[in-house]
Structure formats: C-alpha cells, structure tokens
Structure 1
Amino acid sequence: MTFSELGLSSALARAAQERGWHAPTPIQAAALPAILQGRDVQAHAPTGAGKTAAFALPLLQRLAQAPAAPGPRAARALVLAPTRELAEQVGTVLQDFARALQAPLRVAVLFGGVSINPQLMGLRGGADIVVATPGRLLDVVEHNALKLSAVQALVLDEADRLLDLGFADELARVLALLPPRRQNLCFSATFPPAVQALLGRLLHEPLHIAPALEAQSRPDIEQRAIEVDAARRTPLLRHLIAQHGWPQLLVFVATQYATEHVADKLRRAGIAATALHGQMSQGARRAALADFQSSALQVLVATDLAARGLDIVGLPAVLNYDLPRAAADYTHRIGRTGRAGAAGVALSFVTPEAEAHFRLIEKRQQQRVPRERVAGFEPAAQASALPAAAAADGGGIKGRRKSKKDKAREAAAGQGTLR
C-alpha cells in the first residue's frame, strides 16, 4: 500500500517520500481515506505511530482541493494541542508539507509563553490552518484577531488531555465559537472511559480507528521496575546513569519543584542536567529542549509537560522517578522512547508506598513488569498491600474512591457540555 493508493495527491505523496516515509503506517492507512471523504474520525494509536501525518496530510489535501482565501482574520481549519511543544511540532509538520502544494496554504501557530503581538500581526490576512493551545487561541480571539465561524475541520491532537477537566472550560468556549457543521478529528494514544463519554457528544457518526499493530510495528520498549526507598532514588539514579552511560535520559517527576531539585542534585554530581516545567518561560523551555536534543545535556528532568508532543529521535531511555498519577500518562511517558523503529528502555522507581499504585498501572496496561532490586539500594520497608476494594472492583489509579476531578468529569459528560 502506498500513499497514492490511499488517495493522496502526487505532490503530498512525494513530500512524504522525501521525509523517508515510503509506506503509510497502520494508523495512516486507516485514517487517510476516511478523512479525505470528510468523515469524523476517532483514532487510537500508540505514540510514535504516525498520528500527526495521519491527519495533517489529508487535511492539507482537502483544503487545497477547495482553494479559497481564508478571509481577513478567519481560519478554515483548527488544530488544538494541549502543550506549546506539541503545537510547535504539529505546526512544523503542516508547514513543511504545505510547501509541497502548488498553492501553499497558510499555517499559523499560536501558543502562550511568548509575546502575543507577532501572532496577532501574522493573522491579519487570515490563515488556512491554525494550530493552537486553547488558552492562547482564546486570547487571540478576544483581541479580535481571529474568527472561528468559518472553520471547516477541527482536530483535537492528544484528545484525551484536551477533554480532561483541566481544559474543559477553555474547550467549551472554543467549541461555542465554531460552526455546528464541521469535520471533527480526534487523535490520541489513550482514550479513558470518562473521555470516551465526552467524545460521544462531540463526534457525529465517527469512524473508530484502533489498528492492530503488526509485531514489527510495535514500539520496541523494554519496561523495567526497580524497587527502592523514596529517600534512595536520587543516589540510585546517579548509579544507573553511571552504569548504563545513556547519552540521553528523560526523567519524569511529579512536581515543578522536584524537577529543579533533582536536576540540581545531578549537576552537583557532575552530570549535565536541567529542568523542564510549565512555569519556565518559552525561551527557557526551548533552550532546554534544544540542549537535550543536541546532547549538550545528558539528563532532562521534567513534569508530564514532556510526556506529550516531545519527539527526540533515538532517545534511548526514560525513567519514572515519580510514578504518574494516571495509567494514561504512563503510556505517554514511556512512549517518548522506542520511536520510529528504534529500541528503548523505560524504567520506573517503585517505592514501597507506590507498589499498589504501580499494580493498578500494570492492570490498566494489561502487562506485568517484573520487579528488580539493585545491590546496595534494596528497600528497607515492606510494600503496602493492594487495597482490597481496589482489587475487587478495578479501583482507580488515584485510589479506592473517585476523586473530585473524576466526579466533575463524569458530571460534565452527563450534562453534555460538548457540542
């Protein structure tokens, strides 16, 4: 199967080949024809499966086949992303492919952390496609620099995160500005049940795509779980870095404070490390990522900000210093390695207090990860038992009872806040 056989234009198919994509991935093969037909699509595939191209290529072709000036301060298609880094990445892909068209389409990228003025100036003549984070998009709309009433297609990239309670208010405000008749495309590596209920109100007779990956297409990620006491995690981290000599290591922690604290401890040990979190300026975030991608830094210590949209070619390893709060975030975290056919390793520190939580993560991903111990770092405490109620009813990644966030999300789904 080739891109041309899926209905892609010769110009875009040639552009894909020039990027080294000689054949579509399973998610691309399933999604391209449906999107070209104008159908709503919900696509579920692992990180690194080619989801961005799966919607970018047909979206560009549909807009190119119906050439029309977007109009002053207007957009013809909207792509929403939960983080600045993902918005930049998606915008770059769309801009690269748009140049291959006979009449290149205008792609605008909007995100916070930088001055809004250049973004406002860039929208004076409108844009065929706007890629944006929800907050900055609403800021631009409030400045009367962009109209969304003519949007023909809406894409939610990392849809589960955008439909999460943290984005619910902003997303509802964006949806209220869009025309009711439009194509809706939702792509993500995970679709938790609560998010699935919200999608049912957003999509119209969608095609559900969850292609089974062939063995050679599955991410080659070795998962490891190391038992250790909480107070010994940083010394163990230094030991593992020295033992394995990874040229790059992405370390996930739970809080912004922890990123700075752990990175500082590593620097004091002579390891080139820095932090990455949401309170950093966009310039500082870009500099940290650029240094990490160029191997000027060996270790990047990050919050879940880096779990989505961060594409580092050949990243050999990721490590969960703190376990993620949700199983879906675990999937996104480990998906930063083992991309594009490369092998990778994903390690998790499992403290005695976190053992029950990690069992729930294993249950959600339907995979058991054998526990390991490193000589000299064996935990002194005993792992706490899995709560009986959680074991009986499947529990919840956050504990026995539903959190306020879960209850609010379910209430939003029942009230039909999306349309």
Structure 2
Amino acid sequence: MSFLSLGLAPELATAASLQAWLAPTPIQSAVVPLVLRGADVRACAQTGSGKTGAFALPLLQRWQEQGERVLVLVPTRELAMQVADTFVQLASALSRKPKVRAVYGGASVNAQMQDLRGVVDVLVATPGRLLDLIGKNAVRAATFSTLVLDEADRLLDLGFSAELAAILDLLPAHRQSLLFSATFPPAVNLLAQGLLREPACIEIASAPETRPQIRQRAINVDTARRTALLLQLLADAGDARALVFAASKQGCEQLARELSAAGAPAAPFHGELSQGRRNQVLDGFKAGKLRVLVATDLAGRGIDIDGLPLVVNYDLPRSPVDYTHRIGRTARAGLSGTAISLIGTGCEAHFRLIENRLSMRVPREQIAGFEPVAVPLAVANTGGVKGARMSKKDKLRAAAAAAAESDDPGNGQ
C-alpha cells in the first residue's frame, strides 16, 4: 500500500516520502481515508505508531482543497511543538503553505498574540494557554472546522477536563472531530461520546505486528546503590544515549549532577525548567551532545527521539500506563531497544502490580557486585515511588483506578 493509494494528493505523498516514510503505518492506512471523507474518528494508537501523520496528511489536503482550518489540542508544550513541526515539514511540499502555529504555557503570551495576527490555518495548543488567548481575543474558536484531541487520556489525566469543556462550547457545533488516545479508560470514553458523531472506531494498539521490539529487564538492587549500578549499565552500553526516568524534579537535578561528575554527561529535564532551557536540553540530547537525559514523566509522552536505544526507570513509574509510555520512548520507527527498571528496596510489590495490570512478567536479575543486601518489602507502597503518604493526585488516581478496574494515568504540562 502507498500513500497515493490512500487518496492523498501527489504533493502530500511526496511530503511523506521526504520524511522517510516508505509506506503507511497501520494507523495511517486506517485513518487517512476516513479523515479525507470528513468522518469523525476515535482511534486507539500506541506511541510511535505514526498517528501524527495519520491526521496531519489528510487535514493538510482538506485545508488545501476546502480551506478547512484545524485546531489540535495536546497535553504538553513539547508535544505542541513537535506536532506543529510535523505539519510544517509535511506542508513544505505544497505549492501554497498553511500558516501553522503552536501555543503553550511557559512562553510569553504577548509574543504568541503577535504571532497569531492574521489567519492561522493550523493551531496546535495546550488547553490552558488556548483559553488565555481566547480570553484576550487573539483566537476565535468558532473559525476552526476541525478539532483533533491528541493524547486524550493524558489531557484528562492532567486535569484538563474543565478546560476542554469550555473550549468545546466555543467551537462550531458542526465540525469534524478526531480523538486519539493510547488508552480508553472510562473518562476518555465519556469524552468521546460527547465529542464525536457516529465515529469510525479504529483499534491499532493491540495488533501484534505493531508492537515495538523492546527488551525489558528488571534488576534488583539496594536503593542506595542504584546510581552506581546505573553508571555500570551506561558503561556497558558504550556510547549509547540513555533516557533515565526519576520521580521528581529534585531527583532529576541530583542524579544528573552525580552522573556528570562521574563522567557521563547528563542534564535534567522537568516541568519547572524554562521553555528555552527545555528546548536547549532536548536539542542537545537529540544531537548527541548529551549522553543522558534525566527526566520526569514530562518526557514519557509526545517526545520523539530518533534511534534511542536505552530507557532506564531509575525510579519506578506510579502507574502501568506511565510504564508503557516511558519504555515506548525506545524501539520506535521499527528499531529495537532496551528498557531497564531498577527495583530498589521496597519496590518489588509495586513493580509486581505494574506487571499484573499489564499482564506481563519481566524476569528479575542481579548484577555481580550489586547484589541486594536489604530484604525486599512484601507490601506495595500505595503512594508510588515518592513516599508512603499519598498525594492528592495519587488519591484521585487510586479512586479512578478502583472505580474503573483498569489502568491508571500519568503527569505534567
């Protein structure tokens, strides 16, 4: 199957080839013809499946042929920039170029207002900043004829439900709506019911042929020796870059300092960094100037890092969904990768819970010289990896999980 066979114009098929997309992915094959026909779509697609191209390519064609203006709502700044960049790159092959803009918190609202002057054909936004700009009359929601919700489960998990409701009330009643989500817990299903009209439902995430080739490892180690073991694992990996997940901003900062001091150039990446610094760190890591990126779950979704071979859970994620998205940063675009979880003292039961929810088993390992001395606790720490006392967010997550008897969600704008 080719992009032309999906009904795309030759220019957009060329644009796909310029991105080194040799053939449509399963999600693209299923979604592109539906979007071209103007249908509403409810799609379940894992990270790295090509879903941005699945909606960007046909929406660019609808803009070119019918002037359809597009609003894409995403949960994080990084994803906003990434999705906007994909639209720009794909539109480079068109004779007439759309005006594409990304707006998000953490950047100057006045600068974004200036940038939005005139007609914007494709606007990619985080919900809070979009409402700010609507309130300042810099954006008129009623002018968008197509809405895309990307990472819908993440949008709801971050507490954007009220903002989404406010935005939906301002959009035209007659529009095309596309909803993409990696998981469909009850809250996302409820959103889909209120948002979509007779949608085509696409399920790609569970297809065996689309699963990434990730080698998962779980290593038992005393909590105090995790950093020493991580350095050994990095040494064993040669010059390979690694994305390491920590539980908190402070943990990221401290671990990045320790790794850098030990000869493994590292930088922290979390939501309290300025947008400029986040861009600088991410660009440096993608370019290979940094060996290790130490991140919170901010990097768990929506960040595409080509050829990333190694992901390490220095701290375990709070939920199974976060685990899936963390390890999904490796083995993208048909490549293979390795995901290592360090099972510190007292964390065995929590990792077992993640395994149970995901219906998997990862054999435990011990590394010579790093065999654990402390006895693992048999009772899970219900507050996740940050401590025994549950935060308000954790309590909400736990309540939602208990009500749904399904997977939990994750973190950050």
Q: What do residues 339-393 of structure 1 show as CA deviations (whole Å, max 9, x unaligned)?
A: 1111110011112422222122112222211111112222223333367x9xxxx
Q: 2:339 pairs with 346, 355, 377, which one?
A: 346
Are 1:404 and 2:396 counterparts?
Answer: yes
Q: 1:315 pairs with 308, 312, 321, which one?
A: 308
Identity %: 54
Q: What do residues 247-268 of structure 1 show as CA deviations (whole Å, max 9, x unaligned)?
A: 2100001111110011111122
Partner of 1:108: 101
Q: Letter of the 1:63 partner, please give it.
A: W
Contact 1:246/1:316 (8 A) holds in 2: no
- Between the aligned partners of 2:351 and 2:124, the Cα distance in structure 1 is 35
Partner of 2:25: 25
Tell me the CA shift for residue 126 of structure 1: 2.0
Q: Letter of the 1:45 partner, please give it.
A: A
Cα distance, 1:231–1:27 mapped onto 2, change above 3 Å: same
Aligned to 1:341, the other structure's residue is in SS state coil
Structure 1 vs Structure 2 CA RMSD: 2.3
Structure 2, unmatched stretches of 5+, are 383-389, 404-413
- Between the aligned partners of 1:409 and 1:39, the Cα distance in structure 2 is 32
Shifted more, 130-139 versus 275-284: the winner is 130-139
Aligned to 1:17, the other structure's residue is in SS state helix
Q: What do residues 131-164 of structure 1 show as CA deviations (whole Å, max 9, x unaligned)?
A: 0111221221122111001221111111110122
Aligned to 2:95, the other structure's residue is in SS state coil
- Between the aligned partners of 1:165 and 1:249, the Cα distance in structure 2 is 26
- Between the aligned partners of 1:207 and 1:385, the Cα distance in structure 2 is 45
- Between the aligned partners of 2:398 and 2:178, the Cα distance in structure 1 is 24
Cα distance, 1:197–1:227 mapped onto 2, change above 3 Å: farther
Q: Letter of the 1:167 partner, please give it.
A: F
Aligned to 1:308, the other structure's residue is in SS state coil
Are 1:211 and 2:204 counterparts?
Answer: yes
- Between the aligned partners of 1:99 and 1:339, the Cα distance in structure 2 is 24
Aligned to 1:297, the other structure's residue is in SS state coil
Contact 1:90/1:131 (8 A) holds in 2: yes
Tell me the CA shift for residue 224 of structure 1: 0.7
Q: Letter of the 2:112 partner, please give it.
A: Q
Q: 2:144 pairs with 147, 151, 165, which one?
A: 151
Partner of 1:7: 7
Are 1:253 and 2:246 counterparts?
Answer: yes
Tell me the CA shift for residue 214 of structure 1: 6.6
Aligned to 1:62, the other structure's residue is in SS state helix
- Between the aligned partners of 1:213 and 1:169, the Cα distance in structure 2 is 30
Contact 1:220/1:342 (8 A) holds in 2: yes
Shifted more, 250-259 versus 238-247: the winner is 238-247
Q: Letter of the 1:18 partner, please give it.
A: L
- For normalisation by structure 1, the TM-score amounts to 0.88
- Between the aligned partners of 2:5 and 2:41, the Cα distance in structure 1 is 20
Contact 1:273/1:297 (8 A) holds in 2: yes
Tell me the CA shift for residue 408 of structure 1: 7.1
- Between the aligned partners of 1:351 and 1:408, the Cα distance in structure 2 is 27
Shifted more, 253-262 versus 100-109: the winner is 100-109
Contact 2:41/2:177 (8 A) holds in 1: yes
Contact 2:46/2:205 (8 A) holds in 1: no
Q: How many residues align?
A: 393
Are 1:138 and 2:131 counterparts?
Answer: yes
Cα distance, 1:300–1:161 mapped onto 2, change above 3 Å: same
- Between the aligned partners of 2:48 and 2:305, the Cα distance in structure 1 is 11
- Between the aligned partners of 1:330 and 1:229, the Cα distance in structure 2 is 21
